Amino acid sequence: MSELETRTRKPRTDAVRNRERVLEAAKAVFSAGGPEASLEAVARRAGVGIGTLYRHFPTREALFEAVYRREVQQLADLAEELKQEAQPLDALRRWMRSNVEFVATKKGMTAALALAAYKPSELYSFSFDSLTRAVGGLLDRAIAAGEIRDDISPEDLIRALVGMCYMHDQPGWQRTVLKLLDVFVDGLRAKSGRSDEGGQATTSSRKAKSVA
């Protein structure tokens, strides 16, 4: 590679790196501080000047939307990785738990995104479609393995997640939601996928009722 090519490509590489650093910093700052968190705090955490931040994201709303889209894409990518790394039921559970962290990041952006000049309907469509496709692949895999009942849809799972995360403004909500999520996923198990212990408990319960 010539010296001229090196000089030409380096700023582009630095720009990409700076953009990623700003997005990663914004995720942490917005999650902790909500929609009023300062962009100066984001720049400091990213280790860049405020001018660099504004070159990439000219408005607060543009930065919020970029973080939101990046998180959605990372969840979609995670679904593909889990298909290769984890057993079907465990993959589904781990992906849904990762969504709780996504909501924790997203909650601080809700008000600003609602007021943004960007097309909110397009942003909603992008996120819902991306997440539905991602969980759909994991769900199909778990159903094919006989681990999950076959009368649930990807849309059902996304709506259940949204419902469980509705309490996101309450103290300690993540711990509560993660517990509820485990109960929910266990309830999706196909009968043949339940543990022997669970089956024995169910049989004992039926016997107890017949005696009563």
CATH code (residue 34): 1.10.10
pLDDT at 21: 94
pLDDT at 170: 77
> Is residue 70 domain-shared with residue 22, that is, in the same domain?
no
pLDDT at 105: 64
Per residue in 58-73, pLDDT (tens digit) is: 988 889 889 888 888 9
Q: Is residue 176 part of a domain?
A: yes
Per residue in 114-162, pLDDT (tens digit) is: 444 345 567 778 888 899 999 999 999 999 999 999 999 999 999 898 8
CATH code (residue 137): 1.10.357.10
> Is residue 122 domain-shared with residue 22, that is, in the same domain?
no
Give the pLDDT band (50/70/90) at residue 189: very high
> Is residue 130 domain-shared with residue 87, that is, in the same domain?
yes
The residue from 58, 89, 105 where one domain ends is 58
pLDDT at 1: 47
Contact present, 134 and 95 (Cβ < 8 Å): yes
CA 190 to chain centre: 25
Burial of 135 (0-12, 13-18, 19+ CB in 10 A): buried
> Is residue 51 domain-shared with residue 111, that is, in the same domain?
no
> Is residue 81 domain-shared with residue 47, that is, in the same domain?
no
pLDDT at 164: 85
The residue from 16, 42, 58 where one domain ends is 58
> Is residue 23 domain-shared with residue 112, that is, in the same domain?
no
Question: How many structural domains are present in the chain?
Answer: 2
- How far is the C-alpha of 116 from the C-alpha of 145, rounded, in Å? 43
> Is residue 84 domain-shared with residue 45, that is, in the same domain?
no
> Is residue 50 domain-shared with residue 69, that is, in the same domain?
no
- Lowest model confidence (mean pLDDT) among 72-81, 101-110, 170-179, 203-212: 203-212
> Domain containing 84: what range?
60-190
Backbone angles phi, psi at 138, to 5 degrees: -70, -40
Average pLDDT, stretch 87-99? 94
pLDDT at 122: 79
pTM above 0.75, yes or no: no
- Within 13 Å, how many C-alpha atoms sit on residue 167's CB side? 12
- How far is the C-alpha of 89 from the C-alpha of 143, rounded, in Å? 9
> Is residue 31 domain-shared with residue 64, that is, in the same domain?
no
Nearest alpha carbon to residue 26 among 139, 109, 148: 109
What single string gives the DSSP state of each residue in 58-86? SSHHHHHHHHHHHHHHHHHHHHHHHHHHS
Backbone angles phi, psi at 119, to 5 degrees: -75, 100
**Does pLDDT of 11 surpass 60?**
no
